[in-house]
Amino acid sequence: MRRYSAFAIAREGLRYHQGWERAWASPEPKKRYDAIVVGAGGHGLATAFYLGKNHGITNVAVIEKGWLGGGNTGRNTTIIRSNYLQDPSAAIYEKSRSLYETMSQDVNMNVMFSPRGVIMLAQTHHEVRGYQRTAHANALQGVETTFIGPQKVKELVPIINLEGPRYPVLGGLWQPRGGTARHDAVAWGYARACSAMGMDIIQNCAVTGIETEGGQVKAVNTTKGRIETGKLALVVAGHSSDLAQMAGFRLPIESVALQALVSEPIKPCMDVVVMANTVHGYMSQSDKGEMVIGGGTDHYNNYTQRGSFHHIEETVRALVETFPMISRLKMLRQWGGIVDMTGDRSPLISKTPVGGIFVNCGWGTGGFKAIPGSGWAMAELVAKGEPGPLAADFGIERFREGRFIDESVAAGVAH
């Protein structure tokens, strides 16, 4: 597969762009693979990519019931940060953030990583103390963050209103190397790189059953036939519990919808990402000029991928006080994604009761920012059969042993 470059663009321009190859192949499944990854979203494709790059395992199939990147990978708000309080969380998210910085070179596709910086607003005195504590923890973890005052926030975000009647801005936790990336390009880049290594990406191929023998995985049954394997990685976000049930075990997760929306495009007015956890809203501006707005999850379990009117009202009402100018904008579109939540709001990267089956799920509302680090850790688990340093604390057994990594309590919000 030819590399993308400025020279390739110039050459194909002279050819009226008639010579471009398909970005990835669409083969029929083989009878057997050394490893199968279920889920062709960011996490699944990253797992396959690092299986090949880090461990030399390339006889791999990535199977997807729909289209590549059509789930949460294509439905998120693209925020990348690593300013978490708990040590295991900070480690894997910082690994992920650092991998985003070199991803365009690693996969030979421009993923449009934009280290524009992320501010988490402190709008109560409790949040001020909490974010100061996080800044100190991040310093010990090697994560670059700073607690900044209201005037510095105003300097970074001129459109913000510091004197909100209910929730004035008292400061913020500033991570200058956080930012955003293009979600589709992340999936496409990983897919292209996996295909170039000889892996098979099989779309429109739903899993209908999982065969086991003697407590070990033997094969998966799909709508495109039976495929044998000795290693099976389940990386399907909100549908993880469905596949686990097929294999005969349960997962401690629940699925809920997370909604987001974008405004009509406007001229550049905000070049950082702002999260306001007290009012539970966050906002950034896309390269096309749209204001990308999100909030909290629905308060009931569901698998919908649609938006709802009450969520628009709750989220926008929360943000209008802090950003009055958005009250004059029109909404362009709205959507939802299915997120998988654990009890402590931290992920599962774990072996399962069935030998050869591994699970990566439970990222909740923080999945996109974790894609490269998640894939790195999951690939090591699948290749070696045991978790490496990044995944060691995220096993299923922590709920039985009481070793919670409680980010919902630490951050006051499950992001």
What is the C-alpha to C-alpha distance for residues 402 and 388, in angstroms, rounded to an integer?
Answer: 21
Quick one: DSSP state of residue 369? G
Q: Do 42 and 95 fall within a single domain?
A: no
Whether 362 maps to a domain, the answer reads yes
For 8-52, how does the pLDDT look when each residue is reduced to its tens digit (9 = 90+)?
A: 999 999 999 998 989 999 999 999 999 999 999 999 999 999 999
What total of structural domains would you count in the chain?
Answer: 2
Q: Do 131 and 239 fall within a single domain?
A: no
Residue from 378, 296, 382 nearest 339 by CA: 296
Q: Do 136 and 243 fall within a single domain?
A: no
What is the C-alpha to C-alpha distance for residues 183 and 261, in angstroms, rounded to an integer?
Answer: 15
Q: Do 307 and 228 fall within a single domain?
A: no
Looking up residue 162, the CATH number of its domain turns out to be: 3.30.9.10
Percentage of the chain modeled with pLDDT above 70 = 98
What is the C-alpha to C-alpha distance for residues 389 and 383, in angstroms, rounded to an integer?
Answer: 14
Last residue of a domain, one of 341, 366, 395: 341
Residues 6+ apart with CB under 8 A from 102: none
In the chain, which residues have pLDDT < 50? 412, 414-415
Where do we find the tokens 């950034």?
284
pLDDT of amino acid 414: 43
pTM > 0.75: yes
Last residue of a domain, one of 293, 314, 341: 341
Beta partners for 255?
A: 340
- Secondary structure (3-state) at 146: strand
Whether 399 maps to a domain, the answer reads yes
For 180-217, how does the pLDDT look when each residue is reduced to its tens digit (9 = 90+)?
A: 999 999 999 999 999 999 999 999 999 999 999 999 99
Q: Do 177 and 189 fall within a single domain?
A: no
pLDDT of amino acid 412: 46
Whether 84 maps to a domain, the answer reads no
pLDDT of amino acid 409: 57
Residue from 359, 361, 371, 363 nearest 414 by CA: 363
Chain-centre distance for alpha carbon 140: 25
For 101-120, how does the pLDDT look when each residue is reduced to its tens digit (9 = 90+)?
A: 999 999 999 999 999 999 99
Q: Do 260 and 205 fall within a single domain?
A: no
Residue from 186, 227, 228, 221 nearest 206 by CA: 221
Residue from 284, 257, 298, 237 nearest 71 by CA: 237
Looking up residue 230, the CATH number of its domain turns out to be: 3.50.50.60
Q: Do 108 and 153 fall within a single domain?
A: yes
Q: Strands 200-202, 60-63: parallel, antiparallel or unpaired by DSSP?
A: parallel
Query: Does residue 354 contact residue 216 with C-beta atoms inside 8 Å?
Result: yes
Whether 97 maps to a domain, the answer reads yes
Q: Strands 225-229, 32-33: parallel, antiparallel or unpaired by DSSP?
A: parallel
Residues 6+ apart with CB under 8 A from 118: 79, 80, 81, 83, 174, 175, 178, 179, 272, 273, 274, 275
Last residue of a domain, one of 341, 365, 384: 341
**How many CB atoms within 10 Å of residue 155?**
10
Q: Do 336 and 354 fall within a single domain?
A: no
The answer to whether the Cα torsion of 290, 294, 300, 305 is positive or negative is: positive
Q: Do 97 and 134 fall within a single domain?
A: yes
What is the C-alpha to C-alpha distance for residues 309 and 164, in angstroms, rounded to an integer?
Answer: 25
Where do we find the tokens 């990535």?
62
What is the C-alpha to C-alpha distance for residues 108 and 388, in angstroms, rounded to an integer?
Answer: 27
Q: Do 43 and 174 fall within a single domain?
A: no
In single-letter form, the type of residue at position 361 comes to C
Q: Do 239 and 354 fall within a single domain?
A: yes
Quick one: DSSP state of residue 330? P
Whether 162 maps to a domain, the answer reads yes
What is the C-alpha to C-alpha distance for residues 231 and 34, in angstroms, rounded to an integer?
Answer: 7
Whether 10 maps to a domain, the answer reads no
Whether 299 maps to a domain, the answer reads yes
Query: Does residue 394 contact residue 363 with C-beta atoms inside 8 Å?
Result: no
Tokens of 413: 């919000």
Chain-centre distance for alpha carbon 94: 13
- Secondary structure (3-state) at 53: helix
Residue from 382, 27, 371, 42 nearest 198 by CA: 27
What is the C-alpha to C-alpha distance for residues 62 and 45, in angstroms, rounded to an integer?
Answer: 7
pLDDT of amino acid 410: 53
Query: Does residue 86 contact residue 410 with C-beta atoms inside 8 Å?
Result: yes
Q: Residue 265's domain spans which residues?
A: 90-181+255-341
Q: Do 329 and 376 fall within a single domain?
A: no
Q: Strands 348-351, 79-80: parallel, antiparallel or unpaired by DSSP?
A: unpaired
